[in-house]
Amino acid sequence: MSCDELFESLGKSFGEKIQHQSDFRGETTFTIAASDLREIAKFCRDKLSFDYFLDITSIDNFGEEPRFEIVYHLYSMPYAVHLRLKLKVSEDVGAVDTVSDIWPTANWHEREIYDMMGIKFNLHPDLRRILMWDGYPYFPLRKDFPLEGLPSEMPDVAFTKITPMEGGPFVTTPSTAGSKDREPRARPPEL
């Protein structure tokens, strides 16, 4: 099946559910409604062989409605074809269905988007913060988050003492030996 046949099949199968199609540098993007994501994602995986989930990106269009865009980046290993599924999410709704059961690698990507942008994923198996600590009330990648940050109640425990940079398991020791011999894994264990 050719690239054009893949996308034609997707267009015919979902008709009006495909809001817009665009091509740029050999990669095709289909804009869809958030409510149609799971149905189209399963079709892409099962019928069109988009078996490799590359990434999810989120965009904050602050001041516009709907505020957020989510873009799913897919790849078909058998056909060597890229596909993007783009959808918009309102700040009021602030949620979209998970695809982590369709492509398990989406799990951490969805957690990161939740952590940084505040977009929730319905039925996600473990939707909790991944970079910020639990209880952090803000979403740092939103455009209304100030560049200088916001005050928090978190103590500066990570910066209480200086961490030594020498002698660790992944730090080489100065010597006249070549890099192969200075590599920590090449040294005999210390007694």
pLDDT in tens, 12-38: 888 899 999 998 887 899 999 999 999
Q: Check which CATH number belongs to the domain holding 125 and give it.
A: 3.30.460.80
Q: Is residue 127 part of a domain?
A: yes
Q: Is residue 164 part of a domain?
A: no
Tell me how many domains the chain contains: 1
Beta bridge partners of 120: 95
Q: Is 59 helix (H, G, I), strand (E, B) or coil?
A: strand
Q: Is residue 24 part of a domain?
A: yes
Domain of 84? Answer: 3-155
CA distances for 43 relative to 57, 155, 178, angstroms: 21, 48, 54
Q: Is residue 179 part of a domain?
A: no
49: left (phi over 0), alpha (psi -120 to 50) or beta: left
Spatial contact of 6 and 48, defined as CB atoms under 8 Å apart: yes
pLDDT in tens, 49-99: 999 999 999 999 999 999 999 999 999 999 999 999 999 999 888 789 999
Q: Is residue 45 part of a domain?
A: yes
Global confidence as pTM = 0.77
Q: How many Å apart are CA 81 and CA 74, to the nearest integer?
A: 8
Q: Is residue 190 part of a domain?
A: no
pLDDT number for residue 75: 95
Q: Is residue 61 part of a domain?
A: yes
